[in-house]
Chains A and B, each alone.
Chain A
Amino acid sequence: MSDNNTVRKVDSVPSGSTAKDSGAPLLQVRDLKMYFPIKEAAGLGRTKKVVQAVDGVSFELKAGASMGLVGESGCGKSTTGRMITRLLTPTAGEILFKGTNIAHLKERELRPFRRQLQIVFQDPYSSLNPRQTVSNIISTPLRVHNLVKKGKELDRVQELLERVGLNPEHHNRYPNEFSGGQRQRIGIARALAVEPEVIIADEPVSALDVSIQAQVMNLLEDLRRDLGIAFVFIAHDLGVVRHFCDQVAVMYLGKIVEQGSREQIYGAPQHPYTQALLSAAPDLGTIRGVPPKERIRLVGDVPSPIDPPSGCRFRTRCWKAEDICATQEPLLEPKAHSSAGHAAACHFAEPKVDLTAATA
C-alpha cells in the first residue's frame, strides 16, 4: 500500500542516536505501521484481509512537550498510542525512546522502558480493577519496578494521591467509591507512580462531564509543567487538543494528513480534512457574534480501513479531489507557503484562515 517514501520527516532528525544531546527528541516514531489480519469468508474459501489501522506514522516528541493526535474514530490514533507503550507490537516501523528502538524489544528488555512510558486510558470505569483498593492499584507498579523500600509504599501512595488532588486518607477505598473524574485521577496517579518521562493520554477526559473535564485538564497541565513530563495526547475533541498541545498531528484512516504547531494547525490549516474538522466543531463563538467565515460540510462517513481508497485516502470525501488524488498518494511534506515545521499530505494544500470563530 505505501512504500517507505510516503512519509517524510517534518523536522530534520539529528543523525545518530545519542539522546543526551540537548534538543534531541525524547521519543521518535518512524514510519510506524499496524496491520491487523482479519479472516473473511468468500465463497468456499477464506480470504485474508488486513485492517491497516496505522499505516506509516512518524512524529517526534521533545522532553516536556505535548503532541496532540487528533482524528475521528478509526483513524488509528489510539492504536498508535498503544504501540508506543508497546501494548501492541507494531507490524513495522521504529519507536526510538532516547535513541533505543523499542518497537520490537522482548518483554524482558522492554521492562525498563515500560516504566518511562505510561498510558492513561479513556474510560476510568473499566480501566481500574474494581476489586483492588486504590492503594493497591497505585502501589503495584511501585513494587513491580522496585521503586520504594518496603514499608514506605503507603507514604508514596498518599503523596501521589495528594499530587493528583485526591484525599490521601482515601487510599483504602475501592474505585466504585469515587466519581468518574476522581477515578481518572487515580488512573493518572497510577501512571505517575513510576515517574515516567512520557505519558500517553488516550482520550483522558472524553468520558467526563464538562466541569470535571476542565479539572482533569488542569491537573495534566500542572504535571507537565511541574514534573516536565512529555505527553502524547490523543483526542477527538479539537478544543481540548488546542488547549493542551503545542504540536498537533491530524490523522485520517491510519495516516497523518497534517502536522504542525498549534498555531499552524488552528490558525492556517492546509489540508482539506483539517479544515473540515475545524469547521465542523460546534463552536460557542457563533452565539457571541463571531460567526466563522466559511462552513465546510463533508459528505459521508469515514471509509473502512480494510479497503482504504487508493491514492489519497481522504479523496472520497474531499471537495478538492481530482484524478491525481486517486492515483498518486500525496506525501506529508512542507508546502511552498508553509512556515517551518508545517506539513500537509495533499496535492492541493492551501491555507485557510477564519474557520473557527476566533476572536483573537
Chain B
Amino acid sequence: MLYFVARRMVSALSVVLVTLIATFALFFVAPTDPAGAICGERNCTQQRYNEIKANLHLDRPKVQQFAEYTAGIFTGRDFTTSGVTQHCAAPCLGFSFKNDRPVTEMLKSRLPVTVSLVAGYAVLVLTIGVFVGSMAAKRRGTLGDRGLMTSTLVVSSVPYYIVALMVALYLTILYPILPRGEWHPPSENIGKWFAGLLTPWLVLGIYSCTSYARYSRGSMVETLSEDYIRTARAKGLSDRVVTYKHALRSGLIPVITIFGLDVATSLGGAIFTEKIFGLPGLGVLVLDSLNSYDLPVIMGTVLVASVILVAMNFLVDISYSLIDPRVRLT
C-alpha cells in the first residue's frame, strides 16, 4: 500500500510535469507573441515592446524561462515592471497579463466553484445513474427497462449545451421553477451555496446520468448472469439482496473505470455549465483568458486541471482496491 502510494505520487508528479512542459512549449515556443499582444497594435514602439519582453523575461533562453517558472511555483519569484518590483508568493504561477493580478489568487477564488460542480456531478452520476441502471438491469426486458433505456438514448443524443441552455432559459428565467445558478462560497452560507449550484448540478448530473445508467445497466446485466449470482439465489437470498449486494459490487467496477476516464470530459462539461449559468469557475476563466492571450492564466488553469485529473484517478484506483480484493495496490 505504501509502495503503491509512493509509486502513484511519482507517476502523478511526472504527469503534471509533462503537462507543464507541454503547455509551456505550446504557448511560449509556438509562434504567438505575448509581448506583442500586451503592447497592442497601434502605439507600440519598439522600445516599449522590448521593455515588455524584458519584464516578462521573454528575452531569456526558453529553458531558463521554464526553470524560472517552475522554481516560482515552489519558492515564489519577483517581477520588476518599469522599476516597480512585485513579489509573487510561493505557489507562483505568474501575473495575469491582462489585469496584473497573481494567477494563483485568481485560481484560488475560482477553484472551489469548479470543484463543487464536479463533485456534485460525481455524486449524482454514481448514485442516481448507477441506481437507475441497476433497476433496469434487474427488470431487463420489461417495458419499464425499455422505456428507461430509450429515454436515456433520446436525452444523450441532444447536445449537452442545448439541454443546459434550454433549462437555464426556460426553467430558471422564463418559468423560474428552479433557482438560478449563482455562486456563494459554502463557508459563507451553505444553504445559498447549495441553492445556487442546484440547477447546474441537476443539468450536468442528470444529463450524464443517462449514459451512466446505460453503462451500469450493461455491466449489471452481465454480472447478473454470473454463476455466483445463481449461487446467491440458491442460498435463498432475496432478489433485492442479490441485486444490490452481490451484483452491484461487481457491476460497479467497470462503471468506475469509465468514470475515471470520464473525469476529463466532465471538466470540459464544466466549462459550458459555468458559462451558461454564470458561475465564476475555472472554465469561464480559461475561456476569458484564451480570448485575451492571457498566457499565465491559461497555463495555471491547465496545470490545476491536470492536478485535479491525477487526483481523481488516484481516488479511482483506491476505490478499485476497496471493491475488489484481488486488485493489489502495486
* Chains A and B share a contact (CB less than 8 Å): yes
Question: Residues of A with Cβ closer than 8 Å to B?
Answer: 40-41, 43-46
Query: A44–B330 contact, CB under 8 A?
Result: no
CB of B2 to closest CB in A, whole Å: 7
CB of B328 to closest CB in A, whole Å: 6
Interface flag for B3 (CB, 8 Å): yes
Which interface residue of A40, A41, A45, A46 has the most chain B CB atoms within 10 A? A41
Q: Which residues of A contact B330 (CB under 8 A)?
A: 40-41, 46
Which interface residue of B2, B6, B328, B330 has the most chain A CB atoms within 10 A? B330
- Interface size for chain B: under 10, 10 to 19, 20 to 34, or 35 or more residues? under 10
- Assembled-state Cα–Cα distance A45/B330 (Å): 9
- Assembled-state Cα–Cα distance A350/B330 (Å): 48
Q: Which residues of B contact A43 (CB under 8 A)?
A: 3
Q: Which residue from chain B places its CB closest to the CB of A39 in the assembled complex?
A: B330
Q: What sequence of 0s and 1s flags, for each residue 18-30 of chain B, a beta carbon within 8 Å of any chain A beta carbon? A: 0000000000000
A-B contact pairs, 11 of them (CB 8 A): A40-B330, A41-B3, A41-B4, A41-B328, A41-B330, A43-B3, A44-B2, A44-B3, A44-B6, A45-B3, A46-B330
Q: What sequence of 0s and 1s flags, for each residue 241-256 of chain B, a beta carbon within 8 Å of any chain A beta carbon? A: 0000000000000000
- Assembled-state Cα–Cα distance A71/B328 (Å): 31
Interface contacts beyond A41-B328, A43-B3: sample of 9 additional A-B pairs, CB < 8 Å, sorted by A: A40-B330, A41-B3, A41-B4, A41-B330, A44-B2, A44-B3, A44-B6, A45-B3, A46-B330
Q: What sequence of 0s and 1s flags, for each residue 210-229 of chain B, a beta carbon within 8 Å of any chain A beta carbon? A: 00000000000000000000
Q: Which residues of A contact B6 (CB under 8 A)?
A: 44
Report, nearest first, the 6 A-B pairs whose CB atoms are least far apart: A41-B330, A44-B3, A41-B3, A41-B328, A44-B2, A43-B3
- Assembled-state Cα–Cα distance A96/B292 (Å): 73
- Assembled-state Cα–Cα distance A44/B3 (Å): 5
Q: Which residues of A contact B2 (CB under 8 A)?
A: 44
Q: Which residue from chain B places its CB closest to the CB of A46 in the assembled complex?
A: B330
- Assembled-state Cα–Cα distance A45/B3 (Å): 7
Question: Residues of B with Cβ closer than 8 Å to A?
Answer: 2-4, 6, 328, 330
Q: Which residue from chain B places its CB closest to the CB of A40 in the assembled complex?
A: B330
CB of A286 to closest CB in B, whole Å: 31
Q: Which residues of B contact A46 (CB under 8 A)?
A: 330
Q: Which residues of A contact B328 (CB under 8 A)?
A: 41
CB of B317 to closest CB in A, whole Å: 14
CB of A92 to closest CB in B, whole Å: 29
Q: Which residues of B contact A44 (CB under 8 A)?
A: 2-3, 6
Q: Which residue from chain A places its CB closest to the CB of B2 in the assembled complex?
A: A44
- Assembled-state Cα–Cα distance A344/B330 (Å): 42
CB of A45 to closest CB in B, whole Å: 8
- Assembled-state Cα–Cα distance A270/B328 (Å): 43
Q: Which residues of A contact B3 (CB under 8 A)?
A: 41, 43-45
CB of A44 to closest CB in B, whole Å: 5
- Assembled-state Cα–Cα distance A43/B3 (Å): 7
- Assembled-state Cα–Cα distance A41/B3 (Å): 8
Q: Which residues of B contact A41 (CB under 8 A)?
A: 3-4, 328, 330
- Assembled-state Cα–Cα distance A46/B2 (Å): 13
Q: Which residue from chain A places its CB closest to the CB of B328 in the assembled complex?
A: A41
Q: Which residue from chain B places its CB closest to the CB of A45 in the assembled complex?
A: B3
- Assembled-state Cα–Cα distance A40/B330 (Å): 8
CB of A38 to closest CB in B, whole Å: 12
CB of B7 to closest CB in A, whole Å: 9
- Assembled-state Cα–Cα distance A45/B328 (Å): 14
- Assembled-state Cα–Cα distance A43/B7 (Å): 12
CB of A251 to closest CB in B, whole Å: 29
- Assembled-state Cα–Cα distance A34/B4 (Å): 31
- Assembled-state Cα–Cα distance A40/B3 (Å): 12
Q: Which residues of B contact A40 (CB under 8 A)?
A: 330
Q: Which residue from chain B places its CB closest to the CB of A41 in the assembled complex?
A: B330
- Assembled-state Cα–Cα distance A45/B4 (Å): 10
- Assembled-state Cα–Cα distance A44/B6 (Å): 9
- Assembled-state Cα–Cα distance A46/B6 (Å): 13
- Assembled-state Cα–Cα distance A46/B330 (Å): 9
- Assembled-state Cα–Cα distance A327/B38 (Å): 82
Q: Which residue from chain A places its CB closest to the CB of B1 in the assembled complex?
A: A41
CB of B142 to closest CB in A, whole Å: 29
CB of A37 to closest CB in B, whole Å: 15
- Assembled-state Cα–Cα distance A180/B121 (Å): 49
- Assembled-state Cα–Cα distance A45/B7 (Å): 10
CB of B235 to closest CB in A, whole Å: 25
CB of B124 to closest CB in A, whole Å: 36
- Assembled-state Cα–Cα distance A43/B4 (Å): 10
- Assembled-state Cα–Cα distance A43/B2 (Å): 8
CB of B194 to closest CB in A, whole Å: 43
- Assembled-state Cα–Cα distance A41/B6 (Å): 13
Q: Which residue from chain A places its CB closest to the CB of B3 in the assembled complex?
A: A44
CB of A265 to closest CB in B, whole Å: 36
- Assembled-state Cα–Cα distance A82/B164 (Å): 58
- Assembled-state Cα–Cα distance A45/B2 (Å): 10
CB of B291 to closest CB in A, whole Å: 49
Q: Which residue from chain B places its CB closest to the CB of A43 in the assembled complex?
A: B3
- Assembled-state Cα–Cα distance A130/B103 (Å): 58
- Assembled-state Cα–Cα distance A43/B330 (Å): 10
Q: Which residues of A contact B4 (CB under 8 A)?
A: 41
